[in-house]
Every structure is written in C-alpha cells, then in structure tokens.
C-alpha cells in the first residue's frame, strides 16, 4: 500500500518525488499552492511510509495509478518525472510537469542529454553507502535556506527508503528510455530545469524546446521547486 495525503482546494495536482526521498520534500511547495490546488503527495514504493512494490517501472506506476484522482495535473521531480511520463501513457491526465527530469537519465550512443553511466553509478553508490548522510549532503548543495534544510534532514532521518526500493529505483533510472513515449504524448507538458543541475544537463533544454515544450530555466541545481523563482 502506498502512502498519500491530500490537502487544499482547486484542480487536482499530484506530486511524485525522486529517488531516496519522500513526499515531505514537497511541503514548502504545498504551503505555497494549497489555496490554488487540491494537492496529493505520494510516497513512492518503498520510500517514506509506503510499502515495497515488486517489479519495476510499470509495477510502480500501476500502484500509483490506483490512488490518483481523476484527470490530475501530474508533477514529477527527478525519478518522479520518469514515473509521471510513464503514467501519462497509461491514463488521462490534464497536464504533465517535469521538474529537473528527463525521459532518459543516462547517456548512450543515441542520447547526449544524460549523464555518463559511470558517473551515475559512482554518485548512486556513494549515496547508497550511507543514504541519510548522502542525501543530507546532496540537499545542502541545493539550498542554503537553513529552515528548509532542517525540515528536509528531519524527514530523511524519519522516513528512510528501503534497500529494495533504492535498488529498484536505480534500475529504473539506469535503464529507462521514454524519449519516444514523451514525444508521442498529446498531453500539455511543461518543463522546469536548473542551470546548475549536475544530474540533468542543462543542454537538454534545447531538446525540449525543439519539441515546442515550454521550458523554464532557473538559476538553481537539482531542486528547482525550492527556488524563489519556481512557478507552476
């Protein structure tokens, strides 16, 4: 069973977080927008307060779909963006918002807009060795707001992800390519990127723009929704 919480009034907005974190990461965003949207935050399988789900990308998404409101705006950050793209191929959503995300996180001979596979493995291995310490160091590089950092660090300690889900998530990140699926979507799409992001290369903005996808670039790293200039 997956954990979810809904707050606010307005059009349905669903938030999907990234690898290793939990949905409380979005609390500052929820505080900002709960008077405009009915917001549902979901802990990914094996993350936060959610149980593990056997399988990979499709199995995770099928479980998420079970608790989605009808025709939502779906916002996915990082790994959550991959899940959101896949979900948008399965059910009707009103809008897809990708935050610091990409349909393919890792470079290959046909895809220059990811990061080097070896660098990705080194990054993920370093985090996995000590997840709590690694995630705290990672977030400290994304924001200097001490109040935000304290809340994020408390959440990381309180709701650690399971080893099983971390391995599943890494497998999804390493081996998923949804570029064709994203191109085929008729759903309205918006992309928000950080120009200092080390995980989603900034040059991917050109690929999105070639597809006529509105793309907002903020002077931030991998957590753009913590930036003052962030806007839905």
**Sheet strand arrangement including 4-7:** 4-7, 37-42, 11-16, 73-77, 95-99, 189-194, 215-218
Helix (H) or strand (E) holding 38: strand 37-42
222 is a catalytic site residue: yes
Our CA angle for 87, 96, 176, nearest 5°, is 50
For the chain, the helix, strand and coil percentages under 3-state DSSP, each to the nearest 5: 40, 15, 40
Q: How far apart are CA 78 and CA 39, in angstroms?
A: 19
- Could you confirm whether 227 is annotated as catalytic? no
The one catalytic residue among 50, 101, 124, 197: 197
62 part of the active site: no
Catalytic residue from among 78, 124, 155, 165: 78
Positions annotated as catalytic residues are 78, 197, 222
């Amino acid at each position: 069973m997956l954990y979810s919480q809904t707050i606010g009034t307005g059009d349905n907005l669903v938030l999907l977080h990234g690898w290793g974190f939990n949905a409380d990461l979005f609390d500052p965003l929820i505080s900002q927008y709960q008077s405009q949207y009915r917001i549902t935050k979901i802990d990914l399988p094996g993350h936060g307060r959610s149980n593990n789900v056997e399988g990979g990308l499709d199995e995770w998404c099928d479980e998420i779909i079970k608790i989605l409101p009808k025709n939502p705006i779906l916002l996915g950050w990082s790994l959550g963006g991959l899940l959101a793209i896949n979900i948008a191929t399965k059910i009707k959503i009103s809008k897809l918002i990708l935050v610091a995300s990409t349909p393919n996180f890792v470079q290959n001979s046909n895809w220059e807009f990811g990061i080097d596979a070896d660098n990705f493995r080194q990054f993920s291995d370093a985090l996995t060795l000590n997840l709590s310490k690694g995630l705290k160091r990672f977030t400290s590089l994304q924001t200097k707001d001490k109040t935000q950092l304290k809340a994020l660090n408390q959440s990381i300690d309180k709701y650690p992800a399971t080893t099983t889900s971390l391995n599943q998530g890494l497998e999804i990140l390493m081996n998923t390519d949804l570029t064709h699926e994203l191109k085929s979507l008729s759903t309205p799409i918006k992309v928000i990127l950080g120009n200092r992001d080390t995980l989603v290369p900034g040059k991917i903005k050109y690929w999105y723009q070639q597809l006529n996808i509105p793309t907002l670039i903020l002077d931030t790293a991998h957590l753009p929704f913590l930036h003052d200039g962030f806007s839905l």
